[in-house]
A and B are shown apart, each in its own frame.
Chain A
Amino acid sequence: MSDDKQQGVPMVNVQIDGEWHQFPKGTRMIEACRQVQVEVPHYCYHPKLSSPGNCRMCLVEMGMPPRLAPGEEPVKDKDGHQKIGWMPRPVIACANAVAENMGIRTDSELTKACREGVMEFLLVNHPLDCPICDQAGECSLQEYSAEHGKGDSRFRDEKNKKPKNVEIGPRIRLDDERCIMCSRCIRFCAETVDDPVLGFTDRGSHTVLAVHPNQQLANDYSMNTVDICPVGALTSNDFRFQMRTWFMKETSSICTSCGRGCNTTIGSREGTVFRQTPRDNNEVNSAWMCDHGRMNYHYLNSEARLTDPMIRKNGEEAHQVVPWSKAIRFAADELLKFNASEVAVIASGRMTNEELFMTRRLIAELSVEHVDIVLRRGKADDYLVAADKNPNTAGAKLVLGLKKPGGELAAIQKGIESGEIKALVVLQENLIDDTDFTTELLGKLDFLLTTYPLANPTADDSHVVLPGAAFAEKDGTMINVTGRLQRLNKAHQGPGQTMEVWEICRDLILAIDGGNGIYGVDDVFKEMAGQIKAFAGLTLSKVGDQGLPLLKTKLTVPMLEREKERIAKGEIVG
């Protein structure tokens, strides 16, 4: 719980492993322990879900002061604490709240014996699948069995056989033998995304997790069950057998598939992205993200990636691969041939603020008047997905100073049609596929420059094609639909000669007028903070992993609103 929520809540004294601490009344024992860096192992407990207390892994020894006889005064020691009477039986730490003068022992003989016992029961039927299990390396069962387990099994009988490798949805694979019945996935589907399709059937050690008859786990948030599954029972078809977890480098970034900007962790190895998983941020996406956004990274590893700058001189048929220096020189020389009124720039709401700012400088350099971005509107859902499919429309509006994003496109089309606009610079957009620009229209231009991560029809028509980095390959910031400034971090350098758009713009400006004093992305942000009021006083590092509220909007996140209600009711910890 954050400090602001503790206002007016009385504090209670709790002894954890012999040390006295103070917590707000109502704090769960497990959270109290976590706050003072005492780990209580757990499977079924998840702060964003209800606490059924069915895994029994978080059992701890608990004690309270002895009940007083009528008229008896409590005996306190010199620090004001009463003597704790330890209870003979352990309690679960996840569903019980702390109380005044409570004692918790997480390292006592009883607690250790409980953990060892629970681990032994869980491992009785658990298969030794670790070599082929995708969860290996980030599996709670592996971790706790190393920490709290016995090392070998006393179970000499045959293990239970249960369904393995079951497709319970288009993106999810279920292995029932690995399931430890924590019910996190069941609760997530029922409570958080209102799609109660999972449940337990059969009894005792034959209990299996299953989807209800004629149902599928197919909602757009289904892959979150894979993340919260503490073992490898639920695995993602997308990530299945792609890469072992310990090989992947984890980079904190954000999802760029819609304006929500869900916080993510990008798992990549040697220049290949293997997965995206949600990262906790209570102001943006809680602990979840949609399946669409999560899987929208495959194009990064595509064969169709542009890897080298290419130019096509007038009269030539095919593009020619050239070094960056030559491509930039050629582009700058071509652009300088036109009057300011003959040039238009179409940037993208998928670019970072830094890229947009360097675009702004390029626009100023060329005194371009026609500037716009391509809008992408889609459907919002009642959870996280935003209607704006551009991740940084707010940034484009702010940095480029657009009054009405998307409003200038028609004028640019008209200008090309009438011949008033002769040169067009398209940054990170594919006009032919994503807008109503046509090959015929673009054919009327004397000069067309595009940057894009992938080969595309607009690039085919261009005179200069530059490989622009995609989201996992760049540093920078974006502003989401609720006005929060968030950071993207570079997981790895893009393929081949790929460059980030701010670098491309920097080099273009350099080629046009010979100097700009920009070296790194921090310099861009610094300059942006100096010129745009909203960014004043900020630096890239101040934005941090959790982002900062930058612009005021009245928008709320439906999923977060519901979670806030549930926190207020005490159903979840949050």
Chain B
Amino acid sequence: MAIVVKRPKLTFGEKIYLSSIAKGMMITIGHFWRALFGKGTVTMQYPEEKWDENLPEYYRGAPALVTDEQDRERCVACQLCEFICPPRAITITPEEIPSDDQWAKVEKRPQKFEIDMARCIYCGFCQEVCPEQAIFLRKDYAITGVSRDEMVHDKKKLYEIGGVREGLVNKWNKLK
């Protein structure tokens, strides 16, 4: 069914549109004036100048793994992020922590943890679903590579981006 859109009735002033031109010119001149005598330029000189300083707190960049205060990897390879990931970017191969390891009581860790950044859509579901607070979206946004393989972040790269996160849940230390 066709919808009839009612066109607004224009007044005489609107019809000759000179007032609109004047309004637009005021804005342009205003910017020009402020650029000359005010704050200076508003454009950013990327890539000499980066976004990093100006990103909001809630910015969702590259997902990365984090370690805790004692340098223990938080991830226990529960594979919930692999399950929730809408573009199936995450692939985890779990393994058992050997009994002579300091953190043998945690029992499980990822042997391989790969995020295909060519697939990642930065939705943040992995961070939301993680029961161990092990994966976070950091502010890294310039993910580049010259081949598909380079776009896959392995465990080493993920911990490099992620770094240490302190002051989160620490259930493996406190209770066991």
Residues of A within 8 A of B (CB): 128, 130-132, 136, 158-159, 161, 164-165, 240-242, 244, 246-247
Contacts and interface: CB of A to CB of B under 8 A. Distances in A.
Interface string B147-176: 000000000000000000000000100011
Given A128-B171, A130-B131, A244 B95 contact: no
Nearest to B171: A128
25 contacts: A130-B78, A130-B131, A131-B76, A131-B78, A131-B131, A132-B77, A132-B78, A132-B106, A132-B107, A132-B108, A136-B78, A158-B175, A159-B175, A161-B176, A165-B107, A240-B96, A241-B94, A241-B95, A241-B107, A242-B94, A244-B79, A244-B83, A247-B79, A247-B82, A247-B83
Which among A128, A161, A244, A247 has the greatest number of chain B C-beta atoms within 10 A? A244
B55 interface: no
A398 B82 CA distance: 48
A176 to B, nearest CB: 13
A131 B175 contact: no
Contact of A164 (B95, B105, B171): B105
B96 A241 contact: yes
A241 B108 contact: yes
B80 interface: yes
B116 interface: no
Contacts of A244: 78-79, 83
A275 B79 CA distance: 18
Interface string B80-96: 10110000000000111
A164 B107 CA distance: 10
Q: List the 4 closest pairs (A to B, CB-CB), nearest first.
A: A131-B78, A132-B108, A241-B94, A131-B131
Contacts of A132: 76-78, 106-108
Interface in B104-154: 105-108, 131-132
Interface of B: 76-80, 82-83, 94-96, 105-108, 131-132, 171, 175-176
Contacts of B95: 241
A132 B78 CA distance: 6
Nearest to A128: B171
Contacts of B176: 161
B133 to A, nearest CB: 11
A422 to B, nearest CB: 50
A157 to B, nearest CB: 11
A161 B175 CA distance: 9
Contact of B132 (A131, A136, A247): A131
A136 B80 CA distance: 11
A240 B94 CA distance: 10
Nearest to A158: B175
Nearest to A161: B176
Given A131-B131, A132-B76, 17 more contacts: A128-B171, A130-B78, A131-B80, A131-B132, A132-B78, A132-B106, A136-B78, A159-B175, A164-B105, A165-B105, A165-B107, A240-B96, A241-B94, A241-B95, A241-B108, A242-B94, A247-B82
B173 to A, nearest CB: 14
Contact of B83 (A128, A240, A246): A246
A246 B132 CA distance: 19
Contacts of B105: 164-165
A192 B46 CA distance: 73
Nearest to A137: B83
A202 B154 CA distance: 47
Contacts of A164: 105, 107
A240 B95 CA distance: 9
B100 to A, nearest CB: 13
Contacts of B82: 247
A165 B105 CA distance: 8
Contacts of B132: 131
Contacts of B78: 130-132, 136, 244
Nearest to B95: A241
A268 to B, nearest CB: 16
B77 A241 contact: yes
Contacts of A161: 176
A247 B131 CA distance: 18
Contacts of B171: 128
Contacts of B76: 131-132
Contacts of A136: 78
A137 to B, nearest CB: 10
The listed residue with most B CB atoms (<10 A of its CB), out of A131, A158, A165, is A131
B170 to A, nearest CB: 13
A123 to B, nearest CB: 15
Contacts of A247: 79, 82-83
A505 B78 CA distance: 45
A117 B108 CA distance: 32
Contacts of A130: 78, 131
A246 B79 CA distance: 10
Q: Which of A130, A132, A136, A247 has the most CB of B within 10 A?
A: A132
A131 B78 CA distance: 5
A223 to B, nearest CB: 18
A93 to B, nearest CB: 34
B139 to A, nearest CB: 26
A268 B155 CA distance: 25
A164 B96 CA distance: 14
B11 to A, nearest CB: 61
Contacts of A128: 171
Contacts of A131: 76, 78, 80, 131-132
A379 B134 CA distance: 51
Nearest to B134: A131
A241 B78 CA distance: 9
Nearest to B79: A244
Nearest to A136: B78
B75 to A, nearest CB: 9
A246 B78 CA distance: 11
B25 to A, nearest CB: 62
